[in-house]
Amino acid sequence: MLPKFDFHVHTIYSDGESAAAAMVEAAEARGLMAVAITDHGPELSVGISPHKIVPMLQDVTAAREDAEIPVLAGIEANVVDADGAIDVDERLIDRFDIIIMGIHRLRIFSREPSELARAYFHAIMKAMEHQRADVLAHPFQLHRYLAPYLSREDIAAFAESAAKRGVAIELNSKYRVPDQGLLEACLREGVKLSIGTDAHTVAEVGRVDWPMAMLKRVGASQEDLILDRFLRR
């Protein structure tokens, strides 16, 4: 059986309801192997204030000392422009154990899904090229799921780039993305897979039924998971 973990959890430093220690306790109670605290980056209106990043890292360190499972200090960075820049100060980047990045906004005015999908694709390709990121959060989910509007060639190019840059893709419980086709394209290229509930409450931490079922369906093995990269440190 594959190990359960949750590398996408919010706390009171962004729009979560609880402190890191409570989220970690909930993760342990659910039998997870590891958990990552990943509050929203500052660019989002509900994101962490830049001056709160250091106190947040200290809170995670304190929660880790009381924990029986590995607790990673992370952030859900925003991709903020078409060149793929993210909203994490370069001087702080090495203080995070894990960086998950997500697109929550695109600076184009179209409502046309195929145009949004192309813009998303280009922004994420640039971001993977230029940034240190470990995981792509809720891949191709932006108000709706955009991967079906991309060509097979785009999906293949995305998977190839993610594999080359060492960026894992997240199976996100909240949005139930990505779909099986995208997952299989990624697995064929050797892209690592992460699991994230996108929990904002203690009740949501470790609710990984959907990701675990998807992993089973696509025949993923433990070597396909990003987990080992962090357990070995």
Q: Which residues of 105-129 are buried (b: 16+ CB within 10 A; e: fewer)?
A: ebeeeeeebeebbbbbbebbbbbbe
* Residue from 16, 74, 84, 102 in contact with Zn ion (CB under 5 A): 102
CA angle, 77 as apex, 72 and 83 as ends, to 5°?
Answer: 140
Contact 34, 72 (CB under 8 A): yes
Nearer to Zn ion (CB atom), residue 95 or residue 143: 143
Q: What minimum distance in Å lies between the beta carbon of 94 and Zn ion?
A: 22
* Residue from 134, 198, 204, 224 in contact with Zn ion (CB under 5 A): 198
Q: Segment 46-85, which members bind Zn ion (CB under 5 A)?
A: 76
Nearest to 204 by CA among 3, 69, 32: 32
Q: Residue 169's beta-bridge partner residues?
A: 136, 193
Selected range binding Zn ion among 41-49, 106-114, 148-156, 193-201, rule: CB under 5 A: 193-201
**Distance, CA of 223 to CA of 226 (rounded, Å):** 8
Q: What minimum distance in Å lies between the beta carbon of 216 and Zn ion?
A: 24
Q: What minimum distance in Å lies between the beta carbon of 151 and Zn ion?
A: 25
Nearer to Zn ion (CB atom), residue 76 or residue 134: 76
Nearer to Zn ion (CB atom), residue 102 or residue 178: 102
Binding to Zn ion by residue 39, rule CB under 5 A?
no
Residue 71, SS3 per DSSP: strand
Eight-state DSSP code of residue 111: -
Q: What minimum distance in Å lies between the beta carbon of 188 and Zn ion?
A: 26
Nearer to Zn ion (CB atom), residue 142 or residue 232: 142
Nearer to Zn ion (CB atom), residue 85 or residue 91: 85
Nearer to Zn ion (CB atom), residue 127 or residue 160: 127
Q: What minimum distance in Å lies between the beta carbon of 10 and Zn ion?
A: 6
Count the residues of the shown chain that bind Zn ion, applying the rule CB under 5 A: 3
**Distance, CA of 19 to CA of 162 (rounded, Å):** 32
Contact 203, 39 (CB under 8 A): no
* Residues at the contact surface with Zn ion, assessed by CB under 5 A: 76, 102, 198
